[in-house]
Structure 1
Amino acid sequence: MSETTYFDRELSWLEFNQRVLNEALDEDVPLLERLKFLAITSSNLDEFFRVRIGALTHLIESDAATISPSGMTPSEQMRAVCERVNKMVDDQYKCYLNELAPQLSAQGIRQLQADELNSAQKMMLKQLFQSEILSVLTPMAVGNGNPFPLLANQIVNACVRLAPRKDSPENVPPLPRYAVIPFGRTLSRFYSLPSESGFAYMHLEDILSLFIHEFFPGEEVEECHAFRLTRNAEVEVEELTPQGLAVNMAEVIVARTEADCLRLEIDDAASDDLIHFLQQEVHVSPEQIYRLPGPVDLGAFMELAGRRGFEHLKYDAWPAVRSPDVSAEELMFDTIAEKDVLLFHPYESFEPVVRLIEEAADDPDVIAIKQTLYRISSRSSIIRALKRAVDNGKHVTVLLELKARFDEERNLKQARELESIGAQVIHGVKGLKTHAKVCIIVRREPGGIQRYVHFGTGNYNESTAKLYSDVSILTCDEDLGADAVAFFNTIAGDSQPPQNYRKLESAPLKLRTTLIEHIAAEAKRAENGQEAKIMVKLNALTDTALIDALYKASQAGVEIFLNIRGICCLKPGVPGLSENIHVVSIVDRFLEHARILYLHQGGDPQLYISSADWMARNLDQRKELLVPVEDPKCRRQLIHIFNVFDQDNVKASVLQPDGSYIKTAIGDAEPFRAQEVLYQESKNASNRIAKKQRTMFEPHHF
């Protein structure tokens, strides 16, 4: 492996997941929140296996002679990744077994084993097993001529080893017999038990083991252990076939269920014979087997962490507040016509965005709605509003991206429903994903046609808008409206995009070039002795061209502050290369998801929001938008967000030149937790407006 100026992408992502795991290890975090963070690290690792390790596996199997920007071959990356994953899995289970489980038990949340059950609990479990579990689950004989079933991805199963038959022919050696019991998705992993205090529960696999003989009457059961498979999700999409993208995506969903197995997780109490049997049947190498000292699938603990009760073991609620710039009494059209509105979710509610679309659906003056959708909630108010708009005679056009990984099935269903009632639905763009977040509402007003536009950094998803930190801007700026329509119509009509938008910039055509030009301009100012500064907030930074531009700007004397939640391939603080670059990652109760750019520009700061991370996939393979924020108040809000995050000394970790992250030292300073500060500020601003409205009396006018 040759030394380069870039960190490895895969290892950088694993360091992000370590920062999430650090929240589970932090004793200052409430106990059930620690359990939730542990579950998140497990779910994150599941996707990492399916996508990133899946991609590396394809490269290795195809003998691809590719070298990553970090200077590693796919095989070198795989070795380094597996070594890091093994340590992370060890740390996850030490966290659960040595810290969380004992502390949960001390707080009255107790996992019971078979030898801890009293007679009442045993009776209750037996009734539960016979009435529910025995009725739902079905064992399947495997091995000895019985085919091995196609087990679902990342669903827990039990593998049962039965004693050899006693009536085997004398000349045939006795063979162990095996059965597999898939758990499916309908049963809970956690079953509550009667208890004098607190909450006692038992895992489904432990209940199954306790009564496993009832599945095999008259047989000797030698062992029963939980296991889980992880399959490759990197299935190629054939977009240019005659059947069309919708059919192709349906095929992708099916293909994933049959993809090769990348990981076998199994209870480490299982015998070598049982593990060897599973290894042969699911075709994994010894390196792909993870023997776990605790429950298989720590991600399932999200269910336990989220159950009601034990509120003292959770964070205090931070319900989203109403933006002081949005009146509950005014139509959204009137509010936006008066001024641009910037919303910072989830501190400020996503409700104004939903309300704008709902009002548009019912407003007799609205003639058209055009919207991109990438990831939508299962019970989407926005989808319902769009359907109502169709019923009310509006012209509704929706670009519903079918290639949104792991949301394809939901998006297919919603696309068909919208098409069936008369909406115009576009299934994305050939060869590209449409990741831009834009909604355009066309309204007939006394002064002529007016366009109201929403741009966002996050999805039109009411559920994740309560958990993800994102920025929205609502505007009726004429130029932005014209650009938004041109962008949308280019996608919908499969036509050439305009050579130059009035204000927007888009990928994959010019976004990278524009960003590099902005960075270079700031570097030029520094070379001329002017104050020069760049601040960027992203989820990920991997694009080598942009990293190189930032290195050059640093060498020119530009102060560069990067707030990057996840992957960062840039090496900060390296003498002669990047000593003026400071990189911070913040992991807290809300998922940092906003993309914001600040350029000092000679004392006339320019601010942008974007749907795009600075990654090759976003800049080359996706339709993305970079949106200027021109309203002075909105700009001040964005600058304030940067300044608040820059002061965090509780949840911030600083990237070091060697790739490690170190928590910001508090020292003698007062603890400053950015998300908490931002929430309190939003809450105080909303309360001031509410108080002001209560003390004002407005007469009716005839």
Structure 2
Amino acid sequence: MSFALAADQPGDTNVHETRAAHPKKNESPAIPEDRGILSPDQAQTATGHFDLDSPEWSLNRELSWLAFNRRVLAEARDERNPLLERINFLAIIGSNLDEFFMKRIGGLKQQVGARVKLLSTDGRTPQQQIDECYEVIRELLDQQQRLETEVLGLLARENIHIRRYADLNRRQQEDMDRYFHDNIYPLLTPQGMDPAHPFPFISNLSLNLLVATRHKEGEHSYLSRIKIPAGAGIPRLVRVEARRHVYVFFEDIVANNLDAVFPGMVVESCTRFRVTRNAITNRLMDQAVDLLVMIESALRERKFAEIVRLEVDADMIPHHRIMLASQLRLDSRKDVFAVDGIMAKCDLRELVAIERPGLHYPAHMPVDHPKISQDAPNIFHLIREEGPFLLQHPYQSFTATVERFLKEASVDPKVMVIKMTLYRTSANSQIIEYLLDAARNGKQVAVVVELMARFDESANIHWATHLEQAGIHVTYGVVGLKTHSKVIFVVRRDHDGLMRYAHIGTGNYNAVTARLYSDLGLLTSDADIGKDLTEFFNFLTLGYAPQRRYKKLLPSPNYLKKVFLGKIARELEHQSKGRGGLIQCKVNALTDTDVIRALYQASQAGVHIDLIVRDSCLLRPGIKGLSENIRVIAIAGRFLEHSRIYYFKNGGAEEYFIGSADLMQRNLDRRVEVVAPVETPALRAELRGILNLQLADRRGAWDMQGDGSYVQRRPQPDGEQRSAQEILIELNRKKLADEQKVMKRQRRIPKRKKS
């Protein structure tokens, strides 16, 4: 017995429709001058035609996020990407959709169950959103399946094969049978389903076999469930031969050795199924007596949470499908998704580990920051005398900058205090080790651990307990607010008194994602920022008294949103006085209705607005009289765009900011975020370069349309063929090489003798 790996039809080249956009040759990709900017009088007239509170001027958040996955699918389809990287994008879509069902569909189903009547900003009920999402998801899955067929065929041409057990030769089957008895059979726990054996508990995202058997001479069928073991080094794809890349799925080996599991029985059918559970819990944080205990309890509850999706093999017997849906309390017509091919495509990432350089992106190793020399004995001297420094990950090394900053702080005898926020970190975290070293070395260490970082709660509880046992002062932030900021704060006794040093970033303190996500960081000893961080951490560790004064930092909640809205209004005023308003933002998401309204108003007044938004964007660009002065692009590529940059022209007195906050209500109103100004001309020039490169990108950029769809850009035949990410890799290598040449020349110049 085996499973279909892919649909029989050949690959469809129209997996994702892309409409090429070709701007005029003379058009400036960074700041166009001929965008039909409205005069103030025209804007006033146009304003009267638009009710900015109307749902029609907002797109749907869930559908916008699914559009992001269309762009990921396009990367999987794009023949310009190496083959194993295309496989990786297919796996990412699978993982993304799993999370979408757990978080977004789960939340919407809770609203339906609670009979919530509140409409989304675009005027849809929770049930309408579910129905429309399901329609888009089924289309996405169909396209993903067709693409799976195509790329598996291309893999076979490269001598990488995923085979059905039935297609293996006799020797290979015998090898897999031995593998089953030695490595799989002891792990299996078949569970019957009859009056003496109630329907078993099905864990979230587990892969299962539904097996129907009968006695050889009997007619009555028995149903059983076998959970396919996962984790702890158990591969989903089992390699058939040591010297060749031939693989067979774990569950296919099990399905073809069921005679050992059900001796003396006839196996009538064997099909796969998989469930997705809601990850949203209803715990009230402000009523928690002990947040740690509450989160641990919520994690236990999540294991038994409501099931929101059932995936089944397309050839599952109809009454088996109906039975499963009934037992799992699902609508068999809506909540069941038939899979004709690989189930749990996220596991395809196992193939991505195959070492075939020609099938991967060119090797990328983050370079050292050109100004942070490994030869320099003390990073604090560097920051004080030559800083501040802007860090660009993954182009520049996380280890040689952020980890080095914390490592040196942990052993430097002059460092007295280390404070930091911790949202997510890697499994084998050097960050944690350096914090522990600091505590052992007598430093005062305080860490704000966010226990409610979705899907990282268990890991963060572990780290919090580990840190507390070492004598580190651990707090969980402010009740009712997630601490999403990315800050390390160090107090050091320098020769002239206490000095405050800081790292403020856009990404998590995670060495793994620092090589996969595009993020920024600021290493600074700015006195005002240091004073602001003193207030900021007092707010976090006290858990109350939020009315604090900040001179440079823009924290949320209560402060950041007001400041941003004020800066948008200021650009409108500059525009009205003929000074030309310009706003440019690079964020992961734009969903806050107050910010969107303010941007619409600024556009109506003639302010030019460039938005680089990775995934969800509810603003509708390019609508005459409303948003024709707004353009929105999205970047998809090798690295996940994760940095946040905010720019305001301010009548020529330009302002640049970076930080952890997106333009979402949750970030601005319900999370503790930090956004910091970048004031040094050289660092501002770096940010300007990043913005200009991404706005000009014709390889990885998509232009958003007013209806929420996206058009993929295409390079001109005689134009730049590389993406902004590829150019940034090269630019950072070149900057390091140029700096090393300068340093080499300086070492050769003899020092002049004093007269």
TM-score range, shorter chain: over 0.9
Alpha-carbon separation, structure 1, partners of 2:428 and 2:202: 29
The alignment yields a C-alpha RMSD, in angstroms, of 1.7
Alpha-carbon separation, structure 2, partners of 1:439 and 1:560: 32
1:116 Cα offset (Å):
2.1
1:313 Cα offset (Å):
0.7
User: Is the aligned partner of 1:231 residue 2:277?
Assistant: yes
Q: Quick one: which amino acid aligns to residue 632 of structure 1? A: P
1:3 Cα offset (Å):
5.0
Conservation of the 8 A alpha-carbon contact between 2:216 and 2:264: no
Q: In the alignment, what sits opposite 1:156?
A: 207
2:92 to 40, 47, 63: 40
Q: In the alignment, what sits opposite 2:743?
A: 693
User: Is the aligned partner of 1:340 residue 2:392?
Assistant: no
- 1:272-351 equivalences under 5 Å are 272-286=318-332, 287-307=334-354, 309-330=355-376, 331-338=378-385, 339-351=387-399
Conservation of the 8 A alpha-carbon contact between 1:402 and 1:428: no
1:693 Cα offset (Å):
3.5
Alpha-carbon separation, structure 1, partners of 2:227 and 2:452: 33
SS state at 2:747 partner: coil
User: Is the aligned partner of 1:122 residue 2:153?
Assistant: no
Q: In the alignment, what sits opposite 1:146?
A: 197
SS state at 2:161 partner: strand
SS state at 1:93 partner: helix
Q: In the alignment, what sits opposite 2:61?
A: 9
SS state at 2:56 partner: coil
Conservation of the 8 A alpha-carbon contact between 1:161 and 1:274: no
1:499 Cα offset (Å):
4.1
Conservation of the 8 A alpha-carbon contact between 1:342 and 1:474: yes
Q: In the alignment, what sits opposite 1:533?
A: 582
Alpha-carbon separation, structure 1, partners of 2:530 and 2:100: 38
1:244 Cα offset (Å):
0.3
Alpha-carbon separation, structure 2, partners of 1:21 and 1:458: 24
* CA deviation vs aligned residue, 1:218-260 (integer Å, no higher than 9, x gap): 0111111221110000112333456400000001111111001
Q: In the alignment, what sits opposite 1:79?
A: 131
Conservation of the 8 A alpha-carbon contact between 1:398 and 1:424: yes
Conservation of the 8 A alpha-carbon contact between 1:471 and 1:609: yes
Conservation of the 8 A alpha-carbon contact between 1:586 and 1:651: yes
Gap change, CA 1:486 and 1:158, over 3 Å in 2: same
1:358 Cα offset (Å):
0.4
Alpha-carbon separation, structure 2, partners of 1:312 and 1:217: 47
Conservation of the 8 A alpha-carbon contact between 1:138 and 1:182: no
1:144 Cα offset (Å):
3.8
2:102 to 30, 50, 54: 50
1:384 to 398, 420, 433: 433
Conservation of the 8 A alpha-carbon contact between 2:59 and 2:708: yes
Q: In the alignment, what sits opposite 1:405?
A: 454
Alpha-carbon separation, structure 2, partners of 1:425 and 1:652: 42
- 1:218-617 equivalences under 5 Å are 218-241=264-287, 243-286=289-332, 287-307=334-354, 309-330=355-376, 331-338=378-385, 339-351=387-399, 352-617=401-666
1:198 Cα offset (Å):
4.3
Stretches of structure 1 lacking an aligned partner (at least 5 in a row): 169-173
Alpha-carbon separation, structure 2, partners of 1:428 and 1:166: 66
Using the aligned pairs only, state the percent identity: 38
Q: Quick one: which amino acid aligns to residue 98 of structure 2? A: D
Alpha-carbon separation, structure 2, partners of 1:527 and 1:243: 53
Q: In the alignment, what sits opposite 2:703?
A: 654
SS state at 2:192 partner: strand
Conservation of the 8 A alpha-carbon contact between 2:478 and 2:544: no
* CA deviation vs aligned residue, 1:475-518 (integer Å, no higher than 9, x gap): 01000000011011111012313443111121111211110100
1:4 Cα offset (Å):
1.4
* CA deviation vs aligned residue, 1:54-76 (integer Å, no higher than 9, x gap): 11001111111111111111111
Alpha-carbon separation, structure 1, partners of 2:168 and 2:290: 57
* CA deviation vs aligned residue, 1:72-97 (integer Å, no higher than 9, x gap): 11111111111111111111111102
Gap change, CA 1:16 and 1:610, over 3 Å in 2: same
1:119 Cα offset (Å):
2.5
Q: Quick one: which amino acid aligns to residue 358 of structure 2? A: H
Alpha-carbon separation, structure 1, partners of 2:182 and 2:279: 36
Alpha-carbon separation, structure 1, partners of 2:156 and 2:69: 26
Q: Quick one: which amino acid aligns to residue 268 of structure 1? A: A
Q: In the alignment, what sits opposite 2:725?
A: 675
Conservation of the 8 A alpha-carbon contact between 2:205 and 2:274: yes
Q: Quick one: which amino acid aligns to residue 192 of structure 1? A: R
Q: Quick one: which amino acid aligns to residue 343 of structure 1? A: L
Alpha-carbon separation, structure 1, partners of 2:137 and 2:80: 26
Q: Normalization by structure 1: what TM-score?
A: 0.96
SS state at 2:618 partner: coil
SS state at 2:136 partner: helix
Q: In the alignment, what sits opposite 1:105?
A: 156
Alpha-carbon separation, structure 1, partners of 2:222 and 2:184: 25
Q: Quick one: which amino acid aligns to residue 495 of structure 1? A: Y
* CA deviation vs aligned residue, 1:566-605 (integer Å, no higher than 9, x gap): 1000000001100000100001010000010011111121
1:145 Cα offset (Å):
3.6
Alpha-carbon separation, structure 1, partners of 2:216 and 2:307: 31
Q: Normalization by structure 2: what TM-score?
A: 0.90
Alpha-carbon separation, structure 1, partners of 2:215 and 2:226: 16
After the TM superposition, which of the residue ranges 186-195 and 635-644 deviates more from structure 2?
A: 186-195
After the TM superposition, which of the residue ranges 58-67 and 491-500 deviates more from structure 2?
A: 491-500
1:165 Cα offset (Å):
7.8
After the TM superposition, which of the residue ranges 232-241 and 60-69 deviates more from structure 2?
A: 232-241
Conservation of the 8 A alpha-carbon contact between 1:159 and 1:181: no
1:90 to 134, 142, 150: 142
Conservation of the 8 A alpha-carbon contact between 1:205 and 1:225: no
SS state at 1:163 partner: strand
Alpha-carbon separation, structure 2, partners of 1:306 and 1:558: 48
Q: In the alignment, what sits opposite 1:59?
A: 111
Alpha-carbon separation, structure 1, partners of 2:352 and 2:566: 47
SS state at 1:79 partner: helix
Q: In the alignment, what sits opposite 2:45?
A: none
Q: In the alignment, what sits opposite 2:249?
A: 203
Conservation of the 8 A alpha-carbon contact between 2:75 and 2:89: yes
Alpha-carbon separation, structure 2, partners of 1:279 and 1:545: 42
Q: In the alignment, what sits opposite 1:171?
A: none
Q: Which has the higher contact order (CA 8 A, sep 6+)?
A: 2
Alpha-carbon separation, structure 1, partners of 2:490 and 2:371: 20
1:542 Cα offset (Å):
0.3
Alpha-carbon separation, structure 2, partners of 1:633 and 1:670: 25
Alpha-carbon separation, structure 2, partners of 1:441 and 1:347: 25
Q: Quick one: which amino acid aligns to residue 328 of structure 1? A: Q
Q: In the alignment, what sits opposite 2:51?
A: none
User: Is the aligned partner of 1:27 residue 2:79?
Assistant: yes
Alpha-carbon separation, structure 2, partners of 1:289 and 1:329: 60
Alpha-carbon separation, structure 1, partners of 2:519 and 2:166: 49
